[in-house]
Amino acid sequence: MAIDSLDWEWKKHPVIRIDLNAEAYSVGGLDALHSIFNAELQREARRHGVTLEPGNFISQFKYLIEMTCNNAGERAAVIIDEYDKPLLETMTGDKAVYESILNTLKGFYGVLKSYDKYLRFLFITGITKFSKVSVFSELNQLDDLTLDPCYADICGITQDELERDFGPVIGDILEKTGRNRVEYMENLREYYNGYQFSEKPLKMYNPFGLLYHFKREGKFSPYWYETGTPSFLVKLITKQKIDIANLNDMRIDHEDFRQYDIEGMKAEPVLYQSGYLTITGYDEENEEFILDYPNLEVRSSFAKSLLKQYLQAPLNISNALIFELPKALRSGDIDEVINVIRQYMAGVPYDIIEKTENYYRTVVHLIFNLLGLNCLSEVRTSDGRMDSLVETKNFVYCFEFKIDKTADEALAQIDTKEYLLPWMGSGKKLFKVGVNFDSEKRNIGEWKYAAIEAATPDCS
């Protein structure tokens, strides 16, 4: 049945909106939560002509709901925005503060259960999905929409919507910049598209980044990412020692999405919920979601944040890396590629570098991701895993890293394992690059490379 054919009862219902975003809970703790409860309840009370008597916030919330419904003569819609921010900002700090905030929120949200008869609609949003037991112990009527295919297009802009609704804006940008339409649309997809919210293969554009792109007359920039990376996320990744070089092609199951409590929270589903990874596939047989970066904006910007956390290199060295390394890779200048990485590593504080092969592999991977390059780490082949693979328009680079060994050993492994065999028919020039890190110097000690002219594929 078409939705237009249904009979709708168009009644006006009062709306109560509580927004928990505008406080620094990591600093203010429970006092910050009390402060925002007071501000939000008083604002909504004034808006609905209700006078709140002094008392605790739970009593005031009950009274606000009841009186708002009585004044309007209809049941209310309640919207809770950023419901989990007080928990996220305190979960890696003082456990007592976290638990006091958790207990306060449980009591506050419990009102929504006991006052269910006054509610026509309830909508709760946040970054993560804390379990009903931990936060909504009394609120068992919630319907989780997070991975529901019916709502897969509710939080973004589809390709059809982009081309239908933003045609005039796109036309103006193309006229002013002289860009080719096909190339420009592909750049839009690479930079702002890619989000998927269920096993349904539907990709969505980030509205924030896309609209700012149009507002700035077609300038490509990480607008959404510049709003800030949650500090709790970087702390969680560090605490759980997540292999940040292997965030792409990550697999998690439905149960992982339910583990959002302080004792059992996993970083992987949080990375998905907060927009840094997205669903790129679904393994129906194993009931697993496959996660990866959604687009170039997130891949490069998140790598920049992680590099700052892991390496703390000076800004002038970082800028040189951003401008010089892509140029060297796109021209096939391996010596310059190594020199730029060495300069960058030389600017990293001596005492934070770990003397492990995995550490150096991760650093190089983050550097390539920062530049928006097509970089894969721990790439599986029929006879093992290569450390890093970087592909440009004309070149494919296979990097193998060793520590306190030799570059010849690294090159020999590439040959023995035939890592580049799958790219032999690509028509691109292939480079095998052996790199040895010196643990005492904490930098690249020796490197060697060899070029292979890949045969052009036979299309006859």
pLDDT > 70: percent of the chain? 82
Domain boundaries, the chain: 11-143, 145-294, 311-453
Average pLDDT over the chain, rounded to an integer: 83
Mean pLDDT of all residues in 171-198: 93
- What is the fold, at CATH topology level, of the domain defined by 311-453? Trna Endonuclease; Chain: A, domain 1 (3.40.1350)
Q: What would the two tokens of residue 265 be? A: 């929270």
Q: What confidence score (pLDDT) does residue 457 get?
A: 41
Q: What confidence score (pLDDT) does residue 313 get?
A: 57
Instruction: Say yes or no to pLDDT of 459 above 60.
Output: no
Q: What is the pLDDT of residues 294-324, one digit of tens each?
A: 998 888 777 777 776 666 655 555 666 767 8
Q: What confidence score (pLDDT) does residue 387 get?
A: 80
What is the rounded CA–CA span in Å between residue 342 and residue 399?
15
When pLDDT is cut at 50, 70 and 90, the band that residue 436 belongs to is: very high
Q: What is the pLDDT of residues 235-255, one digit of tens each?
A: 777 777 676 666 666 788 877
Q: What confidence score (pLDDT) does residue 402 get?
A: 92
Between 438 and 6, residue with greater pLDDT: 438
Q: What confidence score (pLDDT) does residue 134 get?
A: 65
Q: What confidence score (pLDDT) does residue 115 get?
A: 92
Q: What is the pLDDT of residues 161-181, one digit of tens each?
A: 999 999 999 999 999 999 999
Burial classification of residue 423, based on how many CB atoms lie within 10 Å of its CB (0-12 exposed, 13-18 middle, 19 or more buried): middle
Instruction: Say yes or no to pLDDT of 131 above 70.
Output: no
Instruction: Say yes or no to pLDDT of 264 above 80.
Output: no
Q: What would the two tokens of residue 198 be? A: 């269920």
Instruction: Say yes or no to pLDDT of 186 above 60.
Output: yes
Mean pLDDT of all residues in 81-90: 89
When pLDDT is cut at 50, 70 and 90, the band that residue 91 belongs to is: confident
Q: What confidence score (pLDDT) does residue 6 get?
A: 54
Which range has the top average pLDDT, 145-159, 232-246, 249-263? 145-159
Between 230 and 414, residue with greater pLDDT: 414
